[in-house]
């Protein structure tokens, strides 16, 4: 890959997931046996399928609360699982992962399908690393897709998230994937990283997927544009200088991949195998839905 070239990247191995259509600020997606309809602020173009088709296919749709950009409720049709929970798998030659899905009040279902490209990257780099059991740190780790990918690839994994219920969800994904012994940490990510730097702890792989806004378990405030630079400077202190990889992924409409490139280059001296750009999903009509910017580098 040429230096400083921006790449577009989409997962190649999904069988249980499909982006059927996107447009009109919505997306129609298949997660395992169920098809969901939910808002998508990036989908500014027209839908390819008719409204009647969307209504006919969807098992459930998300209805936003008045005055809210994120919170709302799912309207579930009668032919969907009564408890609104089900499992789906992600399978490649290297990974055999299981995920529990559920309909949350913030339109999410427990998985971000575009992140599969990062799971593949994690598995590849861990298997190539000349370290018997690499230590991997997953920050803002949500329901743990990256954590269980790293664990299955043979790493010692520390998973950090500020919400206890999400940690419990991650544990269910680990157990469903027949894995164990991930270290769970309920804490503010920046606070945790600062403490690890003071202790001199070192990790061979670090994964960051920070939200635009968030709160730590003790009310700590996280604002992406105000704190991401400090976070990366601190992370640089605990990333191994010889055997390493880093993934930074951000879904924020105000951040371009060029901003991410500048942020990383200001904090890290590692120069090998850089790649940065946008993650996207292709719908059935070859429309590309952008779903975040990423920056990755690795020693192998």
State pLDDT tens for residues 231-273.
999 999 999 999 999 999 998 667 788 889 999 999 998 767 8
**The two structure tokens encoding residue 224:** 């992406």
Q: Is residue 253 part of a domain?
A: yes
Q: Is residue 95 part of a domain?
A: no
**For strand 205-208 and strand 245-250, is the pairing parallel, antiparallel, or unpaired?**
parallel
Closest CA to 134 of 116, 152, 119: 152
State pLDDT tens for residues 113-158.
999 999 999 999 999 999 999 999 999 999 999 999 999 999 999 9
| Rounded Cα distance, 27 and 283, in Å | 9
CATH of the domain at 197: 3.40.50.150
pLDDT above 80: residue 292:
yes
Burial class (CB in 10 A: 0-12, 13-18, 19+), 108: middle
Could you tell me the pLDDT band of residue 229, with boundaries at 50, 70 and 90? very high
User: If you average pLDDT over residues 160-172, what whole number do you get?
Assistant: 95
The domain of 281 spans 6-10+114-298
What total of structural domains would you count in the chain? 1
pLDDT above 50: residue 99:
yes
Mean per-residue pLDDT over the chain, rounded:
93
pLDDT above 60: residue 3:
no
User: If you average pLDDT over residues 267-292, what whole number do you get?
Assistant: 92
Q: Is residue 53 part of a domain?
A: no
pLDDT of residue 106: 86
Contact 97, 148 (CB under 8 A): yes
Q: Is residue 67 part of a domain?
A: no
| Rounded Cα distance, 58 and 56, in Å | 6
pLDDT of residue 253: 63
| Rounded Cα distance, 216 and 223, in Å | 11
Could you tell me the pLDDT band of residue 82, with boundaries at 50, 70 and 90? low
Q: Is residue 45 part of a domain?
A: no
**pTM for the predicted model, two decimal places:** 0.94
pLDDT of residue 2: 44
**pLDDT above 70 as % of the chain:** 97
Closest CA to 166 of 134, 192, 189: 189
pLDDT of residue 182: 98
For 114, which DSSP code? G
Q: Is residue 217 part of a domain?
A: yes
Q: Which residues pair with 21 in a beta bridge?
A: 28
State pLDDT tens for residues 30-64.
999 999 999 999 999 999 999 999 999 999 999 98
Helix (H, G, I), strand (E, B) or coil at 228: helix
Contact 84, 102 (CB under 8 A): yes
| Rounded Cα distance, 220 and 213, in Å | 11
Q: Is residue 17 part of a domain?
A: no
Could you tell me the pLDDT band of residue 105, with boundaries at 50, 70 and 90? confident
| Rounded Cα distance, 241 and 261, in Å | 19
Q: Is residue 281 part of a domain?
A: yes
């Amino acid at each position: 890959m040429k230096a400083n070239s921006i790449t577009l990247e989409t997962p190649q191995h999904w069988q249980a997931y499909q982006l059927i259509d996107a447009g009109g600020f919505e997306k129609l997606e298949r997660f395992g046996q169920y098809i969901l309809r939910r808002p998508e602020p990036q989908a500014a173009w027209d839908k390819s399928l008719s409204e009647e088709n969307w209504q006919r296919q969807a098992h459930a749709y998300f209805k936003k609360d008045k005055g809210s950009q994120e919170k709302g409720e799912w309207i579930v049709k009668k032919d969907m699982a009564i408890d609104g929970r089900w499992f789906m798998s992600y399978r490649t030659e290297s990974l055999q992962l299981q995920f529990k899905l559920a309909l949350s009040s913030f339109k999410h279902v427990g998985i971000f399908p575009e992140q599969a490209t990062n799971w593949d990257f994690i598995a590849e780099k861990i298997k190539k690393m000349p370290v018997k059991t690499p230590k991997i740190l997953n920050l803002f780790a949500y329901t743990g897709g990256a954590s269980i990918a790293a664990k299955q690839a043979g790493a010692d994994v520390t998973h950090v998230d500020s919400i206890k219920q999400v940690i419990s969800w991650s544990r269910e994904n680990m157990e469903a994937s027949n894995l164990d012994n991930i270290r769970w940490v309920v804490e503010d990510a920046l606070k945790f990283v600062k403490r690890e730097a003071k202790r001199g702890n070192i990790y061979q792989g670090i994964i960051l997927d920070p939200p635009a806004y968030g709160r730590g378990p003790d009310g700590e405030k996280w604002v992406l544009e105000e704190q991401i630079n400090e976070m990366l400077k601190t992370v640089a202190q605990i990333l191994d200088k010889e055997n390493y990889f880093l993934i930074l992924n951000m879904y924020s409409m105000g951040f371009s991949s060029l901003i991410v490139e500048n942020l990383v280059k200001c904090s890290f001296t590692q120069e090998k195998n850089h790649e940065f750009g946008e993650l996207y999903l292709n719908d059935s009509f070859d429309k590309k839905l952008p779903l975040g910017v990423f920056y990755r580098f690795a020693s192998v």
